């Protein structure tokens, strides 16, 4: 894969983290995210936990764009997405945008991250 396509794919992946972190959680423009956090971690501190998760997602976006320790970054992303979606699948499927089908989109995103980092990547990254 050439450099520009790879870079575009990295930007797309980073953008997903940014939108979910900033738009959905920090700015709370998708209140369903706070409802999910409230159901899993308790409503009492749902707002603060949602914002903390959102800021963490923004940091993930920055980490992706900087390109530091890319393979560790990719593994971290895949683990976070898997754990988060397993918890949501088991505990709050009724609050998910596509219900239990969300897990399919999570799996596809994990595959995209994996292919982008481990299959489409040259030795420049190691």
pLDDT digits (tens, 9 = 90+) for 55-67: 999 999 999 999 9
pLDDT digits (tens, 9 = 90+) for 70-110: 999 999 999 999 999 999 999 999 999 888 999 999 999 99
**Percent of residues, the chain, with pLDDT higher than 90:** 87
Are the CB atoms for 21 and 61 separated by under 8 Å? yes
pLDDT tier, 2 (very low <50, low <70, confident <90, very high otherwise):
confident
Quote the pTM value: 0.90
Q: How many residues are present in the chain?
A: 126
* 69 DSSP assignment: T
Q: Which residues, other chains included, contact 63 with Cβ-Cβ below 8 Å and sequence gap of 6+?
A: 73
Of 60, 63, 67, the closest CA to residue 19 belongs to 60
Judge whether residue 124 has pLDDT over 80.
no
Of 122, 2, 6, the closest CA to residue 64 belongs to 6
pLDDT of residue 122: 61
Looking at the 3D structure of the chain, how many domains does it have? 1
Domain that holds residue 33: 3-125
């Amino acid at each position: 894969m050439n450099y520009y396509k790879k870079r575009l794919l990295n930007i797309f992946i980073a953008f997903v983290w940014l939108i979910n972190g900033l738009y959905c959680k920090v700015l709370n423009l998708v209140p369903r995210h706070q409802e999910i956090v409230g159901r899993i971690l308790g409503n009492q501190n749902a707002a603060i936990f949602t914002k903390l998760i959102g800021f963490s997602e923004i940091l993930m976006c920055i980490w992706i764009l900087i390109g530091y320790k890319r393979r560790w970054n990719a593994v971290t992303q895949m683990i976070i997405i898997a754990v988060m979606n397993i918890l949501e699948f088991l505990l709050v499927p009724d609050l998910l945008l596509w219900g239990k089908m969300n897990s399919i989109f999570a799996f596809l995103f994990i595959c995209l991250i994996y292919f982008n980092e481990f299959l489409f990547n040259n030795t420049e990254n190691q």
